[in-house]
A and B are shown apart, each in its own frame.
Chain A
């Protein structure tokens, strides 16, 4: 359902006539498709309208770029604008000169406040701070207990008492001062924005504790209602930013844009999973690609840049195109890919990959990869560079050496043969019959190698790469600094 966008754009760009300039009619048709895409991604209707008119103003009458089809030009512009909206005025977390720095979390029921509180505490701890958690959610049964359990996992203390949220917050703050804690995170009960009583209560808590940061916790699967929620909380609490949760779901997360577009405050943190460590600063460019359904190429590239040895990849990519890919290359690639993280995670970031592929990949367990590696490692160097010499007795030996079966060895060899065949086709420029969106990807790579145009996702990617290579880029293989608190500014 979501992957339809890129296809739609390919059709569109073919049908738009290039007359040197983007005509209004061309723009209408292109932006209509963008509108549907944004709505399907749960961006709120009013925000969609405002966003598109801004894009239209920018694009109207613009000259057509040489290297792009009109449709590509539109989606590239949309992508850039999205990044701009999502990434404007990033928030830098600074610490109060007179500690503690107080952080207040608020949100609807079930948006993930309690989990986010614990994750945030872990993040502060990682920054070298000593946080104290205050459990002021006395509404939901066992919410305090939940925070205690999570806090124990991250090694942070929790303050709470069975009184009122206001008293808990006040006393907690005093306790933090007494203990010399420099960060205090207050978890409040989930509340509906129309519940005046509860909204007054959270306002009173904010007034009593005068938080340095007030974050709205909003989950990525939220629909049109995100604007109402964000606006009401902003009116009640003057938010400093947003924390988006449940980004590990397959939702496209348009709610983030809705909320951002209404309150004009930045998204600061993103929570991407159930584990305490699945929490990081928010990256606007990733969210932009995700909302447009373009996959998250930039994260993938960043991951690749951090972990992959570019020379190794380039070398075997070259051999791949020329059709002389060997099992040694395969092994090298496999270990490179494994360094980047789990296959399921990688597939999620890939543009144009079908849902089936994604699910399949997320279910590949590491054991299977280990077996594949073991099989290849059980071959002699000669066998690896020339698999055709592998006869029956060699297969038996390999199976025994890798503790697998002859069937498994056969399967690997057969698949490898197919893979090589596809690579040869790719090298020669015809799109091979790969499952899912891979065919298209392969076609793209072939196109790119011939210097042809790339569709918008890759254009944006290319632009990002260009700025990355010209600017003071983090050196290859260098780990990202842990202590950075501002999301990287966009190009």
Chain B
């Protein structure tokens, strides 16, 4: 019974406060005022260092490589200098790869050296770390309807992703049903409906505040009756640290997986600007809904989305699609090599 412990904790804390306050009353006067902290910490945003491997892969990006010519010119270094490692560290950290994964990569570089240059060695390590099966499945068993479920926190672009994927499936000749399972956010269903119109898909929606499970259930039933091939089910954005909200999501998944529905993919939509919290998101959504893949959105900005390297490493969830713009066609299948190259060298 957690209640008692929580109460105990609060009481302990309150007791500590009381005691500290008493101790403080007796204690020394406030320390003398010191020089103020500068208000602007960083005047210039440092340009992202680059580790160009094959500039040709980055043709759509105007690259200016100054610092890194130095690094690239060093070929066949058995042992890397501290400066070189620091540079690699900077590239990785600035891409949101995270402290733990970065130190691991540095460790590998330190151990094996870089006989063919630092950039190719780093590229190889990163590409190797992205070796997961990335195929998606959209063909359900006989008599059932394929369901793709989209989950994620607020504002990552779930609804937009569904719109783009609907277009993709339509292009491949499937009949698509959209399920407006986000019954929480104001006008979310309206947004999805516009996508349905734009892509020529069917849609099932309910009033705001309705049970998302029932919306998805209706959508699957209707899709089956109409002979649609696939249901793309939207869900409300939710923070990943509330298990009540995650339980609700787990229920939606169970409902969707009941015949005639069959959940083939549960895609976690992740915003490329997200930092280390993405790990926590992956962990929680994986536990609640058995995430089968990631859609990395907003990769057309300046963010690199390096956190997916940590996610693939820690949770074995492959990135399957990448969102690279606002247009209906701006969703592509994830390609590790292109991703790593842009991580190392992309600069606009």
Does any Cβ of A come within 8 Å of B93's Cβ?
Answer: yes
Partner pick for A261 among B41, B46, B271, B278, CB 8 A cutoff: B41
Assembly CA distance A487 to B90 (angstroms) = 35
Taking CB atoms and an 8 Å cut-off, the chain B residues in 1-29 that contact chain A are 1-21, 23-25, 27
Does any Cβ of A come within 8 Å of B64's Cβ?
Answer: no
Residue pair B155, A343 in contact (C-beta under 8 Å):
no
Pick out which of these stretches binds chain B: A119-127, A173-181, A463-471: A463-471
Residue pair B273, A225 in contact (C-beta under 8 Å):
yes
Does any Cβ of B come within 8 Å of A194's Cβ?
Answer: yes
Does any Cβ of B come within 8 Å of A157's Cβ?
Answer: no
Residue pair A88, B41 in contact (C-beta under 8 Å):
no
Identify the closest chain A residue to B159 (Cβ): A141
With A40-B276, A141-B190, A147-B186 known, 20 other A-B pairs at CB within 8 A are: A89-B39, A109-B298, A142-B191, A142-B193, A145-B187, A192-B302, A194-B302, A221-B275, A249-B240, A250-B240, A251-B280, A261-B42, A263-B40, A308-B14, A361-B2, A368-B3, A419-B8, A454-B20, A465-B17, A466-B24
Identify the closest chain A residue to B102 (Cβ): A39
Does any Cβ of A come within 8 Å of B98's Cβ?
Answer: yes
Assembly CA distance A208 to B39 (angstroms) = 30
Assembly CA distance A42 to B187 (angstroms) = 32
Does any Cβ of A come within 8 Å of B175's Cβ?
Answer: no
Identify the closest chain B residue to A82 (Cβ): B37
Least Cβ–Cβ distance between B101 and chain A, in angstroms: 11
Contact partners of B11 in chain A: CB under 8 A: 313, 316-317, 320, 333, 337
Partner pick for B42 among A46, A252, A359, A461, CB 8 A cutoff: A46
Given A262-B41, A361-B6, A458 and B16 touching (CB < 8 A)? yes
Q: Is the interface of A mostly helix, strand, loop or mixed?
A: helix
Pick out which of these stretches binds chain A: B139-147, B241-249, B337-345: B241-249
Residue pair A359, B243 in contact (C-beta under 8 Å):
yes
Residue pair A445, B277 in contact (C-beta under 8 Å):
no
Contact partners of A150 in chain B: CB under 8 A: 186
Given A364-B2, A449-B19, A142 and B194 touching (CB < 8 A)? yes
Assembly CA distance A448 to B37 (angstroms) = 31
Binding site for B on A (CB under 8 A): 1, 36, 39-42, 44-47, 50-51, 54, 58, 67, 81, 84-85, 88-89, 108-112, 139-143, 145-150, 192-194, 219-229, 231, 246, 248-252, 254-255, 260-264, 274, 297, 300-301, 304, 308, 310, 313-314, 316-317, 320-321, 330, 333-334, 337, 340, 343, 346-347, 350, 353, 357-364, 368-369, 372, 411-412, 415-416, 419, 422-423, 426, 434-435, 438, 441-442, 444-445, 448-449, 451, 454, 458, 461-463, 465-467, 469, 491
Given A81-B37, A89-B39, A438-B12, A111 and B94 touching (CB < 8 A)? no
Least Cβ–Cβ distance between B321 and chain A, in angstroms: 17
Partner pick for B5 among A224, A357, A426, CB 8 A cutoff: A357
Least Cβ–Cβ distance between B69 and chain A, in angstroms: 22
Identify the closest chain B residue to A53 (Cβ): B41
Taking CB atoms and an 8 Å cut-off, the chain B residues in 176-199 that contact chain A are 184-188, 190-191, 193-195
Partner pick for A219 among B24, B155, B303, CB 8 A cutoff: B155
Partner pick for A225 among B24, B303, B348, CB 8 A cutoff: B303
Residue pair A438, B276 in contact (C-beta under 8 Å):
no
Residue pair B153, A221 in contact (C-beta under 8 Å):
yes
Those 7 A-B pairs whose CB atoms lie nearest each other, nearest first: A223-B275, A110-B155, A261-B41, A149-B186, A42-B275, A317-B15, A251-B277
Residue pair B39, A358 in contact (C-beta under 8 Å):
no
Contact partners of B187 in chain A: CB under 8 A: 142-143, 145-146, 148-149
Residue in A45, A221, A251, A363 with the greatest tally of chain B CB atoms within 10 Å: A221
Residue pair A360, B37 in contact (C-beta under 8 Å):
no
Contact partners of B41 in chain A: CB under 8 A: 47, 50-51, 54, 85, 260-262
Does any Cβ of A come within 8 Å of B95's Cβ?
Answer: yes
Contact partners of A108 in chain B: CB under 8 A: 273, 298, 301
Contact partners of A250 in chain B: CB under 8 A: 239-241, 277, 280
Least Cβ–Cβ distance between B194 and chain A, in angstroms: 4
Q: Interface digits, B146-164 against A, CB 8 Å rule (1 contact, 0 not)? A: 0000000111110000000
Residue pair A223, B4 in contact (C-beta under 8 Å):
no
Given A248-B239, A313-B15, A224 and B96 touching (CB < 8 A)? yes
Identify the closest chain B residue to A317 (Cβ): B15
Given A223-B273, A333-B7, A362 and B37 touching (CB < 8 A)? no
Partner pick for B191 among A141, A223, A249, A364, CB 8 A cutoff: A141
Least Cβ–Cβ distance between B63 and chain A, in angstroms: 15
Given A112-B155, A435-B5, A462 and B18 touching (CB < 8 A)? no
Binding site for A on B (CB under 8 A): 1-21, 23-25, 27, 30, 34-42, 45-46, 90, 93-96, 98-99, 153-157, 184-188, 190-191, 193-195, 208, 239-244, 271, 273-280, 298, 300-304, 307, 326, 348
Least Cβ–Cβ distance between B246 and chain A, in angstroms: 9
Residue pair A337, B7 in contact (C-beta under 8 Å):
yes
Given A142-B187, A146-B185, A412-B1, A262 and B45 touching (CB < 8 A)? yes
Residue pair A347, B45 in contact (C-beta under 8 Å):
no
Residue pair B15, A46 in contact (C-beta under 8 Å):
no
Given A192-B300, A411-B1, A415-B1, A109 and B155 touching (CB < 8 A)? yes
Residue pair B9, A347 in contact (C-beta under 8 Å):
yes
Contact partners of B348 in chain A: CB under 8 A: 194
Residue pair B99, A36 in contact (C-beta under 8 Å):
yes
What are 23 A-B contacts defined by CB distance under 8 Å? A40-B98, A40-B99, A44-B94, A108-B298, A110-B298, A149-B208, A192-B300, A221-B153, A221-B275, A223-B274, A225-B96, A246-B155, A249-B277, A262-B45, A353-B9, A359-B241, A363-B243, A364-B3, A419-B8, A445-B13, A448-B19, A449-B19, A466-B30
Assembly CA distance A147 to B334 (angstroms) = 34
Given A46-B45, A58-B34, A250-B277, A438 and B9 touching (CB < 8 A)? yes
Contact partners of A147 in chain B: CB under 8 A: 186
Identify the closest chain A residue to B326 (Cβ): A139
Assembly CA distance A353 to B36 (angstroms) = 33
Least Cβ–Cβ distance between A61 and chain B, in angstroms: 14
Contact partners of A412 in chain B: CB under 8 A: 1, 4
Contact partners of A229 in chain B: CB under 8 A: 273, 302
Assembly CA distance A419 to B90 (angstroms) = 49
Given A42-B276, A426-B12, A304 and B17 touching (CB < 8 A)? yes
Residue pair A441, B13 in contact (C-beta under 8 Å):
yes
